[in-house]
């Protein structure tokens, strides 16, 4: 993960999944994962103003009612804390979990949700920003 | 002379019952079983939902000496709601998903038989607010199990063998079940869950012997599908009962929204034999974003009275037209014969999620009393007794404030001043004992698109204790004839446990920390007994007698909506971030852990 702080307080984060998230190996039988096609980026100002894509990630989080299980602020409820999980979960495993679910643990499959699947990279970017502590509020606003 | 003749009639009636088995006797069977206080033959002990027992061996004088008689682990971790049944020396226990059933010989505490259905794990994430299940029903040597995946099953009570099974809903679209089935006459009545998935609610009646669907009544849509007669189904309007009129539901929805409009039916139902009416409530309209469903959204949030044989609606009363807060109307309907404003009344008493305690004439559906049973309730000033409509306070109207605006400080929270945890009625002093939540919320609705089988919520909520105190619940004694709080006993957390009241002069309930408590029924601030069970209690207290000894029992096993934060993964570091949903309940971790078990008590 490379993070650069600009003088105007924009934080730009490039998330290089394989490099930073190798710890999740225990949960990831197919860790051999292919090339990183999309490295989702988020831009955040003042902790809550985000770029359009990350904003869509937040909207997907809300539309899919993820808070029902993961808590209003991703802190965990009946499902695990995403603030913690996203520190170790690889991008591949994130996508796989959201798409296929972990049914026995109560995580549903969102494969039939167009909102979620169309925004999976944006959702990851938003949650990664929350987990990294760069996005300091759950509810974000779009950068104008 | 008088007493002699009624004795003769009683004897004649019993002879007739013995001589004529068959024809619609389930009602008589259950009636007979519930009339004997040695049994606990229905979830509420009787068909009136009173949660009252005539047993007196454990009483206000000696309950302090009560001890644990035996315990039983269910082997299931998540929230344990409802209670076991006890019939003729056998106890029937249920569990949350995977919905195991145990029949236990009370003499030996040996498991006579067990049953565990095979269910698709995909059902687990579809269950709102934990994988709870509220219990079994019994009639004519059959146990009725309502599985999470919506399958309704009849088991042979002697062996656990499946007699029949029927699919009640489609879990693929989120139609699952958490409610207990109820047997009235020769029918087993069940509902449906899934208000957060856009499920169109209904109540269904199945024949207890064959499992054949007898009738099905939707909560929304065309009159015929709701079993509503526009001319004969009555509702409280302008201070009188008037026919609901044609298309009473369709007229209150925009377009086809009613097809995904909720009004689910996962509460406790009651039945009055003399009126042949069953009573139940319908849940929230879908979605939680009111901007997407302008109109009254009938008949969500409604008390229904239906003919048990045909399902035809006799009357309907909508408590929260155009819901903006998720105040499901499904809580139990308690039938009690009490004085209402000085007049003897066949009443229906209901403590709604919206914070109002309602008293209606159960014969006609006339609205008699509607008062707040928690002074913290602020979303409405009062219920207009002429129109029957709550007077909404603009500041707390999530519809008036609009989507993407956070409406703050609404009391009660979506959990309601009371949720499914059932209240009890004491015929001796005519008081109701209400287990309450004292919790408020912020509510931000937003636009949501419907996809079958995906969540359809459309609002973000945070909940926190009501202002001005640190307590999040009470046990409240209520006078339903006047609509007044008699006494209120504060509890640290929500009281999410069904109350039991007995002729021994005690009222007993569980707490989220895991205590079973008994108080003086005439002065609930007098705590007479307190015992810490293995986990937090969201189950309902029940009692029975065996071989001359009275027992009292309760499930413990934290979970459900209030205890959901206790399940794996809660990050205490972030639990109160912006008053997260679990903020207030975070401290539960200092008291309890997951784990399902039954604790049975008796005097030494």
Question: For position B20, what pLDDT does the model report?
Answer: 43
Q: Which two tokens stand for residue A79?
A: 């499902």
Looking at the partner chain, which of B124, B457, B574 has a beta carbon nearest the beta carbon of A81? Answer: B574
Look at residues B78, B220, B102 and name the one whose alpha carbon lies nearest to residue B155.
B102
pLDDT at A2 over 80: no
The answer to whether A31 and A25 are in contact (CB under 8 A) is yes
SS3 content of chain A, % helix, strand, coil (to 5): 45, 15, 40
> Hey, where are the domains in chain A?
51-137
Please list every residue in chain B whose beta carbon sits closer than 8 Å to the beta carbon of residue A104.
121, 124
- Specify the range with the lowest mean pLDDT, choosing from B316-325, B463-472, B559-568: B559-568
Catalytic residue among B29, B326, B328, B479: B326
| Three-state secondary structure string covering B536-599 | CCCCCCEEEEECCEEEEEEEECCCHHHHHHHCCCCCCCCCCCCCCCCHHHHHHHHCCCCCCEEE
**For domain A51-137, which architecture applies?**
Orthogonal Bundle (1.10)
| pLDDT band, very low/low/confident/very high, at B5 (cuts 50, 70, 90) | very low
Looking at the partner chain, which of A67, A75, A112 has a beta carbon nearest the beta carbon of B574? Answer: A75
The pLDDT tens digits for B147-187 are 999 999 999 999 999 999 999 999 999 999 999 999 999 99
Burial class (CB in 10 A: 0-12, 13-18, 19+), B49: buried
* C-alpha distances out from residue A17 to A38, A56, A75, A129, A132, Å: 10, 20, 22, 13, 13
Give me the number of domains chain B comprises: 1
Contact between chains at B457 and A79 (C-beta distance less than 8 A): no
Share of chain B above pLDDT 90, in %: 86
Q: State whether residue A137 is helix, strand or coil.
A: coil
| Mean local confidence (pLDDT), B119-146 | 92
Look at residues A45, A42, A40 and name the one whose alpha carbon lies nearest to residue A6.
A45
Question: For position B125, what pLDDT does the model report?
Answer: 87
Question: For position B130, what pLDDT does the model report?
Answer: 83
Question: For position B583, what pLDDT does the model report?
Answer: 56
Contact between chains at B582 and A71 (C-beta distance less than 8 A): yes
Domain annotation covers residue B11: no
Concerning whether B339 is annotated as a catalytic residue, the answer is: no
Predicted TM-score of the model (pTM) = 0.90
Instruction: State how far the Cα of B164 lies from the Cα of B320, in Å rounded to an integer.
Output: 38
pLDDT at B108 over 60: yes
- Establish if B403 touches chain A: CB-CB under 8 angstroms: no
Enclosing H/E stretch for B491: strand B484-491
Burial class (CB in 10 A: 0-12, 13-18, 19+), B18: exposed
Question: For position B468, what pLDDT does the model report?
Answer: 79
Mean per-residue pLDDT over chain B, rounded: 92
- Specify the range with the lowest mean pLDDT, choosing from B123-137, B546-560, B581-595: B581-595
Question: For position B4, what pLDDT does the model report?
Answer: 40
Instruction: State how far the Cα of A51 lies from the Cα of A143, in Å rounded to an integer.
Output: 5
Contact between chains at A77 and B564 (C-beta distance less than 8 A): yes
Neighbours of B242 (CB within 10 A): 11
Q: Which long-range contacts (CB under 8 A, 24 or more apart) does B465-470 make?
A: B465/B438, B465/B439, B465/B440, B465/B584, B466/B374, B466/B376, B466/B411, B466/B412, B466/B438, B466/B439, B466/B440, B467/B376, B467/B409, B467/B411, B467/B440, B469/B438
For chain B, the C-alpha Rg in angstroms (whole number) is 22
Contact between chains at A62 and B446 (C-beta distance less than 8 A): yes
Please list every residue in chain A whose beta carbon sits closer than 8 Å to the beta carbon of residue B124.
103-106
Minimal C-alpha gap between A124 and chain B (Å): 19
pLDDT at A25 over 50: no
| Mean local confidence (pLDDT), B32-61 | 98
Q: State whether residue A32 is helix, strand or coil.
A: coil
Q: State whether residue B119 is helix, strand or coil.
A: coil
Looking at the partner chain, which of A64, A73, A104 has a beta carbon nearest the beta carbon of B574? Answer: A73
- Establish if B326 touches chain A: CB-CB under 8 angstroms: no
Residues ≥6 apart with Cβ < 8 Å to B333? B49, B268, B269, B270, B279, B280, B281, B303, B348, B349, B350
Q: Which two tokens stand for residue B167?
A: 């699919």
Q: Which residues pair with B110 in a beta bridge?
A: B105
Instruction: State how far the Cα of B239 lies from the Cα of B231, in Å rounded to an integer.
Output: 18
Neighbours of B402 (CB within 10 A): 14
- Specify the range with the lowest mean pLDDT, choosing from A72-86, B40-54, B90-104, B447-461: A72-86
ipTM above 0.90, yes or no: no
| Mean local confidence (pLDDT), B412-440 | 96
Question: For position A31, what pLDDT does the model report?
Answer: 29
Domain annotation covers residue B6: no
CATH number for the domain harbouring residue B390:
2.140.10.10
The answer to whether B219 and B235 are in contact (CB under 8 A) is no
Domain annotation covers residue B128: yes
Enclosing H/E stretch for B422: none
The gap from C-alpha B371 to its chain's centroid, in whole angstroms, comes to: 20
Question: For position A22, what pLDDT does the model report?
Answer: 31
The total number of residues written for chain A in this structure: 144
Domain ranges, residue B203: 27-602
Q: Which two tokens stand for residue B500?
A: 């039991």
Interface test with A, best of B577, B578, B584 (most A CBs within 10 A): B577
Q: Which residues pair with B370 in a beta bridge?
A: B358
- Establish if B130 touches chain A: CB-CB under 8 angstroms: yes
Minimal C-alpha gap between B534 and chain A (Å): 20
| Mean local confidence (pLDDT), B421-426 | 98
pLDDT at A4 over 50: no
Contact between chains at B571 and A76 (C-beta distance less than 8 A): yes
Interface test with A, best of B573, B580, B584, B589 (most A CBs within 10 A): B580
Looking at the partner chain, which of B446, B454, B581 has a beta carbon nearest the beta carbon of A71? Answer: B581
Question: For position B332, what pLDDT does the model report?
Answer: 98
Question: For position A6, what pLDDT does the model report?
Answer: 33
pLDDT at B373 over 60: yes
| Mean local confidence (pLDDT), B192-203 | 97
Domain annotation covers residue B415: yes
Domain annotation covers residue B14: no
| Max Cα distance, chain A (Å) | 47
Sign of CA dihedral B326, B329, B332, B334: positive
| pLDDT band, very low/low/confident/very high, at B565 (cuts 50, 70, 90) | low
The pLDDT tens digits for A75-133 are 887 788 999 999 999 999 999 999 999 988 889 999 999 999 999 999 999 999 999 99
| pLDDT band, very low/low/confident/very high, at B271 (cuts 50, 70, 90) | very high
Instruction: State how far the Cα of B354 lies from the Cα of B326, in Å rounded to an integer.
Output: 9
| Mean local confidence (pLDDT), B237-257 | 97
The answer to whether B333 and B280 are in contact (CB under 8 A) is yes
| Mean local confidence (pLDDT), B198-221 | 98
Going by DSSP bridges, is the β-strand pair B182-184/B187-190 parallel, antiparallel, or unpaired? antiparallel
Looking at the partner chain, which of A74, A75, A78 has a beta carbon nearest the beta carbon of B567? Answer: A78
């Amino acid at each position: 993960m490379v993070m650069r702080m600009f003088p105007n307080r924009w934080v730009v984060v490039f998330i290089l999944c394989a490099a930073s998230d190798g710890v999740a190996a225990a949960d990831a039988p197919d860790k051999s994962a292919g090339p990183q096609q999309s490295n989702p980026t988020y831009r955040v100002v003042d902790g809550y103003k985000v770029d359009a894509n990350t904003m869509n990630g937040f909207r997907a989080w809300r539309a899919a009612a993820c808070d029902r299980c993961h808590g209003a602020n991703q802190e965990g409820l009946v499902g695990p804390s995403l603030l913690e999980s996203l520190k170790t979960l690889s991008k591949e495993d994130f996508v796989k979990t959201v798409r296929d679910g972990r049914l026995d643990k109560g995580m549903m499959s969102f494969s039939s949700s167009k909102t979620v699947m169309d925004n999976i990279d944006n959702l990851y970017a938003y949650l990664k920003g929350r987990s990294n502590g760069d996005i300091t509020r759950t509810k974000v606003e779009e950068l104008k | 002379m008088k007493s002699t003749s009624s004795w003769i009639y009683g004897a004649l009636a019993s002879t007739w019952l013995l001589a004529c088995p068959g024809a619609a006797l389930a009602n008589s069977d259950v009636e007979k079983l519930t009339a004997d206080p040695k049994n606990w033959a229905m979830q509420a002990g009787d068909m009136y939902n009173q949660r009252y027992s005539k047993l007196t061996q454990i009483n206000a004088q000696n309950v302090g000496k009560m001890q644990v008689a035996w315990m039983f682990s269910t082997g299931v971790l998540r929230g344990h709601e409802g209670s076991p049944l006890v019939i003729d020396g056998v106890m029937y226990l249920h569990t949350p998903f995977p919905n195991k059933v145990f029949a236990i010989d009370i003499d030996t505490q040996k498991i006579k038989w067990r049953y565990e259905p095979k269910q698709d794990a995909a059902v687990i994430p579809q269950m709102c607010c934990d994988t709870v299940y509220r219990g079994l029903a019994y009639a004519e040597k059959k146990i009725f199990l309502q599985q999470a995946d919506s399958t309704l099953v009849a088991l042979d009570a002697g062996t656990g063998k499946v007699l029949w099974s029927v699919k009640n809903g489609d879990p693929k679209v989120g139609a699952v079940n958490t409610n207990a089935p109820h047997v009235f006459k020769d029918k087993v009545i069940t509902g449906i869950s899934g208000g957060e998935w856009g499920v169109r609610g209904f109540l269904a009646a199945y024949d207890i012997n064959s499992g054949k669907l007898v009738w099905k009544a939707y909560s929304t849509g065309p009159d015929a599908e709701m079993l509503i007669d526009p001319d004969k189904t009555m509702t409280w309007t302008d201070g009188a009962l008037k026919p609901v009129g044609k298309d009473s539901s369709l007229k209150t929805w925009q377009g086809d929204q009613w097809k995904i409009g909720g009004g689910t039916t996962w509460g406790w139902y009651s039945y009055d034999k003399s009126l042949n009416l069953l009573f139940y409530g319908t849940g929230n309209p879908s979605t939680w974003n009111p901007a997407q469903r302008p109109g009254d959204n009938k008949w969500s949030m409604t008390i229904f009275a239906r003919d048990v044989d045909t399902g035809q609606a006799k009357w309907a009363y909508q408590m929260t037209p155009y819901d903006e807060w998720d105040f499901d109307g499904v809580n139990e309907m308690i039938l009690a014969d009490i004085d209402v404003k000085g007049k003897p009344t066949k009443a229906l008493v209901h403590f709604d999620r919206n914070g109002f305690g309602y008293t209606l004439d159960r014969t006609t559906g006339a609205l008699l009393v509607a008062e707040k049973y928690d002074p913290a309730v602020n979303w409405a000033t009062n219920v207009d007794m002429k129109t029957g409509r709550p007077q909404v306070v603009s500041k707390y109207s999530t519809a008036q404030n609009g989507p993407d605006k956070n409406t703050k400080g609404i009391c009660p929270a979506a959990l309601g001043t009371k949720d499914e945890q059932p209240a009890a009625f004491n015929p001796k002093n005519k008081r109701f004992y209400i287990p309450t939540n004292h919790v408020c919320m912020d509510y931000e609705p937003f636009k949501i698109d419907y996809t079958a089988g995906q969540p359809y919520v459309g609002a973000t909520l945070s909940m926190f204790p009501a202002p001005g105190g640190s307590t999040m619940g009470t046990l409240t004694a209520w006078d339903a004839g006047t609509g007044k709080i008699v006494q209120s006993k504060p509890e640290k957390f929500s009281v999410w446990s069904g109350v039991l009241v007995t002729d021994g002069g005690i009222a007993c309930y569980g707490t989220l920390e895991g205590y079973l408590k008994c108080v003086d029924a005439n002065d609930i601030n007098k705590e007479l007994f307190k015992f810490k069970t293995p986990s937090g209690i969201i189950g309902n207290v029940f009692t029975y007698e065996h071989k001359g000894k009275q027992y009292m029992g309760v499930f413990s096993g934290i979970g459900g909506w209030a205890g959901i934060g206790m399940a794996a993964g809660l990050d205490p570091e972030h639990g109160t971030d912006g008053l997260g949903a679990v903020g207030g309940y975070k401290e539960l971790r200092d008291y309890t852990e997951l784990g399902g078990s039954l604790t049975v008590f008796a005097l030494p």
